[in-house]
Structure 1
Amino acid sequence: MYDLATRRHALSLLDHGRSLNSVSKETGISRAAIRAWQVRIEPLPRMNQTQCTAPPDPAAYSYLLGLYLGDGCISPHPRGGYHLRIACADAWPGLIEQCRAAILAVRPSDKVYVLQRQGCVAVTSYGRHWPCLFPQHGPGKKHERRIALDDWQQEIVDAHPWEFIRGLIHSDGCRITNWTTRMVGGVKKRYEYPRYFFTNKSDDIRKLCTDTLSKVGVQWTITARGSDPFNVSVARKESVALMDAHIGPKY
């Protein structure tokens, strides 16, 4: 894990004529990482009126935003433009199709294709406006930098909260069935109950999730994975029923 200052220092050595090998040996950073930083280190553009317009389908955008914050990334193309990639597990073909449909609704003029990876596919779209549509991108992993919505994004999420929550759950969440046993009249009986989880290392992304859940009346708790509070849990019967009505399981 390297911060932005470390990345810029390595690139500055290259700018002063040093070879990739010598910079790698001096800094202890792999050549592959430094090579990737050469195209990713500079900030990408944010939305303004001269760059791109607001998404034509705000509900689809809200869903896609949730998918992006969970399992998405943006990377520049060497010849210009950018790739948006959303990782979707092979086990959920319906999710792959929903992701593809959301991308087309947000950017009807951009093509969408699927790249097979081990255990998953990357639903991918090339275009020039993905960075300004998702200004949360940047160098490094999402949980290593601040994630906050722009005002125009928050307005869309406020107008379409369930679509945003659905995107988060479909990317980094799940609906499971827990069970427990109780003694009733001297007989051990098994009881099952469903619950939802959203798991993400980013404190900021988890807060976006919980803030939106609270706005729609869903009660939630934070549970730890080991010593880290990575899990948002929805277990109360009324809240699970509300989630079922608007989210439902992956398929």
Structure 2
Amino acid sequence: ANVVKPCLYQKYKNYGASWNSPSPSRFMNHRVPAHKRYQPTEYEHAANCATHAFWIIPSILGSSNLYFLSDDDWETISAWIYGLGLCGLFVVSTVFHTISWKKSHLRMVEHCLHMFDRMVIYFFIAASYAPWLNLRELGPWASHMRWLVWIMASVGTIYVFFFHERYKLVELLCYVVMGFFPALVILSMPNTEGIWELMTGGVFYCLGMVFFKSDGRIPFAHAIWHLFVAFGAGTHYYAIWRYLYLPSTLQTKVSK
């Protein structure tokens, strides 16, 4: 008994010291092997939730704004598609990270939500291109690309279903191809208004991918990736709002 008491005392003493000291391990766990999933710290979990939950309300309001600015059926349909993709991205991400943080014992639920979180990225990319492909004059390839982006999103979804977290570099490559391939048509627009905003948003996404693959190397890497996604989505939303939906009279005033 005399031996056990000092050991217990030392254990709790060390625990209290580690809680009061700002140890880096509280902000970032060790990097995991390629075939394993990174487990965020408590602080990283909270940051992962907050950095996308914050954008749910703005995305709903922004999508509603596009809907009310729509003048015809194509604009209405495009607003719905884009709005669902934008809101779905932030909602699904927030739900998954919340469950992963607070209900991690629900293994099957967490696994399904993680898959859904990765799947929705493909549909968000397709939805982000939808207004440009539907509302801009792009030439003969535009009509094919309208459907091709959704075929690519479906293929990506099937890939996640069968190979989730198995080949992480392949998964990242799929996102890159999905993100840039439709741009071959978009960048050929005779009307170049919005090009710079589209390119800027693409740069945000590309920079964010560096952090997307940096869990265990950079503290709060995934939360930083979330912020880059929000900046990229915000930049693209601005371009869609200003150049595709803003009434021509107001657009003239803005351009001046």
State the TM bucket, normalised to the shorter chain.
under 0.3
The two structures have a TM-score, normalised by structure 1, of 0.23
The structure carrying a bigger strand percent of its residues is: 1
Larger RCO, structure (CA 8 Å, separation 6 or more): 2
The two structures have a TM-score, normalised by structure 2, of 0.23
